[in-house]
Chains A and B, each alone.
Chain A
C-alpha cells in the first residue's frame, strides 16, 4: 500500500501547510478547554469566615441549595481522576452516574473496567460486568466517607451536618461548597469534600485525602428528571 504522504506527492517530511492549519486549531482547542474548565475553589475555602450554618442559610445559598435539593433523579456522564501519591499521572475512569431519590447513587464505570458502585442508605455494593455483586464490609468509617458522596449529591445538609462542617465561597454563577469532617478518625481517610458548580449544575466533586491523594469527579452531560426503567433500576441499584 502506498503511504499517504507519497500519494500526496511528498516525502516523509511534515508539510508546512499542515503545521499552518494545526496551530490555530490547537489554539482554539486550548481556548475552548480554558473556557470549559471550572475554576477550583480558593485555597482558603475552609476558613472561619466562609463557614455557613446549614440550618440558617443566607443568600445566595438559600435559593441555590433549595434548587439543588429539588433536582430529583439525575443521569450524567462523568470522568474521575484519581491522584495517587505513588503514581506520577492520575488514573482516569469514565462512566455514568445515576442519582435516584429512592435508590441512592450509582456510579457505573465504563473504563477501564465495567464496574458499578452503588451507594445507598444500607451501604456500598460493588457489581462487576457480569452482574456479580458483593457488599463492602460495613466499616463505619468507610461507610461515613462513601455515604458522604450520596449526601453531597442529594445536597442533604441535615445528614452532612452530622459528620461535616460546611463552608461556601463564590456566587450563584460559580460556587464552591466545602465539607470538612468533624471526626478525627474520619478525617484520616477523607480530609475534605469540595463541590463546585455553575448555576444549578454541579460541575466537579473533589474528595481529598491529602495534597497528593485525591479523587476528582468531573460531571459531564447531565439529564435532569431522569426516569430509570425497572431493568435499569435492577441493574444499577441494589
Chain B
C-alpha cells in the first residue's frame, strides 16, 4: 500500500472504530448497566444455596430497609411529629411500607388474626406437644383427656400467678390453653429490644438502594419528611441508616478518588516523561492510543455483559498502563535508516508486539472461566483493551509522518566494574524474596470490596442498636422447596438448637404456621378427646375457677372438632398468615415459587453450625461472604497460574527454549519477588493482590519480550521499556495510596512487579558483565 493510501485507510479505520464505539456507549443506560452493589460480585447462580439465600436476602429484602430514630431533648419524639414523618414518607411514593413501631395497629391486626385462628394455627402444635408429654407418662390412652384437663388447669394456675399475666386476663376465658400468651412469650426475641428512648420508624424502599432512584430521590423525600416532622416538634433529631446511604457514599468516594488519583497519575506520568523524553509535547501522540484502548475495552465489555460492576472500570482504568506499552514501543523505536517507511518498521517490530499482546490476551482470557463475575468481566475488559491498544497504536502511527519519540538516555555504569555488586544485589534480593514467600499471609475479607465509611458505619450500628439488633444475636435461615418442607425442617432445627442452647432458645415466625405433620394429625387427636370439655370444666372447678366463664372456649373447641384439616385449608391458612406479617416481621419469612425460608433468632453468639440435614445455616453473613471470597481467591489463583503457564508455553513456542526461559523468568521472578517483599513486610494479601500480580506479570512480560530482541543483538534494552515501566510504576504507585482497599492492593502489586521487572531488565546486562 502506498503511504498516502495507507494513511487514508488508517484514518478511516480509526474514525470508524471511534464512531461506532462512541455511538454504542452513547446509547447505554449507565444506571442500569453499572452496579455498585457488593452483592453483585457474587454470581447469581452461586452454587452454594446458603450464599444464594444470603444474596437474595441482602439484595431483595434487607437492603431495602431504612431505619429511623426520632428524638427530642433526649426523649422519644412526640407522637404527632412521628405521625407526620411517617405520613410524609408514605406520600413520597418511594416506600412500599412505612411503620411507626410504636403504632400498635399492625401488631393489633396480626394479633387479632392469630387470635381468631388460634385453634387452626396454634392448637395442632400444642396438642402434639401435650400428646408427646402424655406418652412419656406411659399411662393408658383413655386417661389422656383427664390428664390433659388437669394439665391445662395447672398451667393456668402458674400463669395467673405471674404478675405480667394481667395483660392477658381478658383472653384467658377464651384461651385457657394459653396458646396466645405462650406464643407471645416465645416470640419476644423476634421483636427485639427496641429502645424506648426514641421513636422508631421502619421503612421499606421501593426502588433498589443501589440505583439512583433509591438514593437521591429517597434522600430528598427523607429531608422533606424530616422538615415536616420538625415543624411539629422543634429541635427534633432524626438519625437514620440504610444501605442506600452506603451505596451513595461509595459512589461519591469512588468518583472523588478516581478523579484525584487520575490527576496524580497523569502528573506522575508527565513527570517521568519530562525526565526521559526530549520533546515532551510529542507524548500527546500516545493519548489517542490509550483512549482507543479504553474505548475498545468499554465497548466490548458493555456489549458482552448485561451488567458490570463499577470495580471493573476502576481496575480497568489501570489498563492504560499496559496499553501505553505498545505505543511506547512503536513510537520510540528509531528508524533503521532515514527513509524507512512505517510498514517496514512495523514488520520488524510486529513479532514482539504480537507475541506480547496475544500471549497477554491469552492469559487474561483464562479469567473468563472464573466463577466470580468481576474477574470474568475484567478478563474481557483487559483483553479487549489490549487488542484495541495494539490495533489502535498500529493504525494511529501509520497515519503519522515518521513517528518517533526521542529519549534522553541516562549514562550506564561500566558493567565490568559493577558486575559483582549487581550480582550480590541480585542474590540478596532473591534470598529476601524467598524468605518473604514463606511469610505470606492471606486475609479474605469481603469488606476489602467496600469503601470504608467509618462515620456511616458508626451511625448504622448506633441506629441498629436502638432497633434491638445486637452482635450477640444469631440469625438462622431454614429453607425448603415448599412451605411444608421448610416448616418440617424448622421443627427439626429448633429441636436441635434448643437442646444445644437451652438458656437461649431460638424464636421463629414459623411457629405461627403449624407443621404439616401436626396439622394432619389434629383431626384424629381431637376425635380422641370427646370428653375433654367436660374434663376441663371439672378440672377448672377443682382449681378454683368458674367453669362457666370458659363457655366461649368450650364452644370454639366444639366447632373446631367438627372441622377437617385438608391440604387446601393448610395452604390457605399459611398464605393468610404470611399476608399478615408486615413491616419488620415481613423479613422473617419468605415464600415463593423459588422455595420458602424462615428466619429464626436466638440471643447468643454464633457457635457451631447446624448439621447439614437440618437445612439450616447461621447467617453470619460476613463470614459466609468471606469464605466465598476465599474460595474465589483460590479459584483465581488456579486460573492465573494456568494462564501464566499458557503465556509461558506460548513464549517457548515463539522464542525457543533458551530465549523463552529468559523471557519467562523476568515476569515470573518479578512476581515472586513482589510477593516476597510483601511477605517480608508482613502485609496480608487478598484476591486483588492476585489480580494485580496478573496484571503486573503481563506488563513485565512485555518488557521481557521487547528487551529480548535487543538482548539478541547485544544491545541495551530499548528506552521504551524504561519509560513505560517508570510511567506505569508512577501511576500505579499513586494508586497504592488509595483509601479504597481494592485499588490500593492493585496499585501496590503492579508497581512492585513493574519496578522489579525494570530493575531485572536494566541490571541483567550489568550482572552479565557485558558491555552493550
Query: Chain A interface (Cβ within 8 Å of chain B)?
Result: 80, 82, 84-89, 91, 93, 107, 109, 112-113, 115, 117, 121-123, 126, 134-142, 213, 215
Contact = CB atoms under 8 A, between A and B. Distances in A.
A167 B619 CA distance: 57
B196 A82 contact: no
Contacts of B197: 122
B162 A85 contact: no
B104 A84 contact: no
Contacts of A135: 193-194, 196
Interface of B: 75, 79, 101-102, 104, 107, 160-164, 166-167, 169, 172-173, 188, 191, 193-194, 196-197, 544-546, 549-550
B196 A122 contact: yes
6 contacts: A84-B160, A86-B546, A88-B544, A112-B161, A136-B164, A141-B104
A215 B101 CA distance: 29
Contacts of A86: 172-173, 545-546, 549-550
Nearest to B603: A132
Max chain B C-beta neighbours (<10 A), residue from A121, A138, A140, A141: A138
A88 B196 contact: no
B102 to A, nearest CB: 5
Nearest to A117: B163
B163 A138 contact: no
Nearest to A111: B161
Contact of A140 (B102, B194, B196): B102
B544 A87 contact: yes
A88 B163 CA distance: 18
Residue among B160, B166, B169 having the largest count of chain A Cβ atoms under 10 Å = B166
A107 B163 CA distance: 10
A159 B549 CA distance: 37
A117 B173 CA distance: 25
B166 A82 contact: yes
Contacts of A93: 161, 163
A136 B191 CA distance: 10
A82 B172 CA distance: 14
Nearest to B468: A135
B164 A126 contact: yes
A13 to B, nearest CB: 32
A137 B191 contact: yes
A41 to B, nearest CB: 22
Nearest to B167: A142
Contacts of A84: 160, 169, 172
- Determine which residue in B163, B188, B194 has the highest number of CB atoms from chain A within 10 A of its CB, and name it: B163
Nearest to A115: B163
B102 A85 contact: no
B171 to A, nearest CB: 11
B546 A87 contact: yes
A88 B104 contact: no
B104 A140 contact: yes
Contacts of B79: 140
A12 B191 CA distance: 62
Given A86-B172, A135-B193, A138-B102, A109 B545 contact: no
Contacts of B75: 121
A123 B76 CA distance: 11
Given A89-B544, A93-B161, A112-B161, 14 more contacts: A86-B546, A86-B549, A87-B545, A91-B160, A93-B163, A107-B163, A113-B163, A126-B163, A126-B164, A135-B196, A136-B164, A137-B104, A138-B196, A139-B104
A123 B163 contact: no
A88 B545 contact: yes
Contacts of B160: 82, 84, 87, 91
A31 B167 CA distance: 37
B192 to A, nearest CB: 10
A80 B162 CA distance: 12
A142 to B, nearest CB: 7
Contacts of B102: 138, 140
A115 B164 contact: yes
Contacts of B194: 135, 138
